A and B are shown apart, each in its own frame.
Chain A
Amino acid sequence: MRLNYPVGIRIVKLPCTGRVAVIHLLKALEKGADGVFVAGCMEGDCRYQAGNLRAKKRVAYVRQLLQSIGMEPERVAMYNLSSGEGPRFAEISREMAEKVRQFGPNPVKGKGVRKEKAA
């Protein structure tokens, strides 16, 4: 299957979306990603039982946090699809890219927020 999805997307592969922690989503944004989506298996189909449900809660938590710091919560999203749905993946990627484009670039990008390693 040769499917087109937006070129700017970077895919991070994980064995299960249950591995996605809050900090991973935040770091992606802090480092300049315009948006992040988590592509999990269909609800009820998790090989590890509830990994995708955990990811869903973490996505919800990050959305709330983004709201509190004045960023668009929709820059982070959770989608559920099965591994056989390549066309759906491409469609979601385009949908997400389009949504994020409307918000404009991530305002954090290239800002002078500094961090030094302490301890």
Chain B
Amino acid sequence: MIMAKPKPIEEIINEIKGFDKILVAGCNGCVAVCEAGGLKEVEILASALRMYFGNQHKNMQIDEVSLTRQCDKEYLAEIKDRIGSYDAVVSIACGAGVQFMTEMYNTKRIYPGVNTCFIGVTEEKGVWTERCQACGECILARTGGICPIARCSKRILNGPCGGSSNGKCEIDKDVPCGWQLIYERLKELGELKRFEEPVSPKDWATSRDGGPRKLVKEDSQI
């Protein structure tokens, strides 16, 4: 899922300090799982903001809402009757959610309350790591189920590079070398001969290099 982390509250305060009535809008999708933008985080952020502006002797109204998802119009529509009364919204969904809310309510200012980080997994409670960069042409079948694009710092397709040492990547001794992981996995699978033939260059047009992407599934369309 999509991982995010809360923005420093000072940054949010700075964006909204000129307004009188703010809605803090959470998303109960991905960002709730990584404890950055769900119902609980809405309550915490809104409470802290109310205390801050209270201390500043500013009569500011800060309300809370948490939507099932912010990347679907039907859930965004749940606030359509009341959004008009707010000066601005702080959305703590991922960047997609913030933008979709902006598109739907384009007379309002929608400020991001989190920094959206990556597509990843919950490694343990409170620890999330990156796994996929949404390249649009998955090659996991050839790399033992370990993604060289997300897990090799250089995204090379024929690794490891010379910076791999004792299983770690040269960028940081705590970062496993993606290609070492691939090597070990392919060895387990008895498929080491894959290293004998270089992998041909990847077509990056399906990734961000091809510009903003769009998916259409005709049989799903109404």
How would you classify the secondary structure of chain A's contact residues: helix, strand, loop or mixed? loop
> Which residues 68-116 of A have a CB within 8 angstroms of B?
68-71, 107-108, 111-116
Are A69 and B43 closer than 8 Å at their CB atoms?
no
> Which residues 19-61 of A have a CB within 8 angstroms of B?
21-23, 26-27, 29-30
- How near does chain A come to B140, taking the closest CB pair, in angstroms? 36
In the complex, whether B54 has a CB less than 8 A from a CB of chain A is yes
For this complex, into which size category does the number of interface residues on chain B fall? 20 to 34
Contacting residue for B61 out of A29, A69, A70, A115, CB 8 A: A115
Beyond A108-B50, A119-B82, 6 additional pairs, beta carbon < 8 A: A22-B44, A23-B44, A26-B48, A27-B47, A69-B49, A117-B63
Are A111 and B57 closer than 8 Å at their CB atoms?
yes
In the complex, whether B79 has a CB less than 8 A from a CB of chain A is yes
Task: Given A69-B52, A70-B55, verify A113-B78 contact (CB < 8 Å).
Answer: no
In the complex, whether A1 has a CB less than 8 A from a CB of chain B is no
Q: Which 8 A-B pairs have the closest CB atoms?
A: A111-B54, A69-B52, A113-B54, A114-B61, A113-B50, A118-B63, A112-B59, A26-B47
Q: Chain B residue with minimal CB distance to A68?
A: B9
Are B46 and A115 closer than 8 Å at their CB atoms?
yes
In the complex, whether B138 has a CB less than 8 A from a CB of chain A is no
CA distance A71 to B9 in the complex (A): 13
Contacting residue for B48 out of A69, A107, A111, CB 8 A: A69
- How near does chain A come to B25, taking the closest CB pair, in angstroms? 9
CA distance A102 to B15 in the complex (A): 33
Q: Chain A residue with minimal CB distance to B63?
A: A118
For this complex, into which size category does the number of interface residues on chain A fall? 20 to 34
Task: Report chain A residues within 8 Å CB of B65.
Answer: 118-119
Contacting residue for A115 out of B63, B66, B67, CB 8 A: B63
> Which residues 33-53 of B have a CB within 8 angstroms of A?
40, 43-44, 46-53
Are A21 and B40 closer than 8 Å at their CB atoms?
yes
Q: Chain B residue with minimal CB distance to A107?
A: B55
Contacting residue for B43 out of A23, A107, A112, A113, CB 8 A: A23
Task: Report chain A residues within 8 Å CB of B50.
Answer: 30, 108, 113, 115
- How near does chain B come to A19, taking the closest CB pair, in angstroms? 14
In the complex, whether B8 has a CB less than 8 A from a CB of chain A is yes
Are A69 and B9 closer than 8 Å at their CB atoms?
yes
Are B54 and A107 closer than 8 Å at their CB atoms?
yes
Q: Chain B residue with minimal CB distance to A70?
A: B55
In the complex, whether A65 has a CB less than 8 A from a CB of chain B is yes
Task: Report chain A residues within 8 Å CB of B79.
Answer: 118-119
In the complex, whether B10 has a CB less than 8 A from a CB of chain A is yes
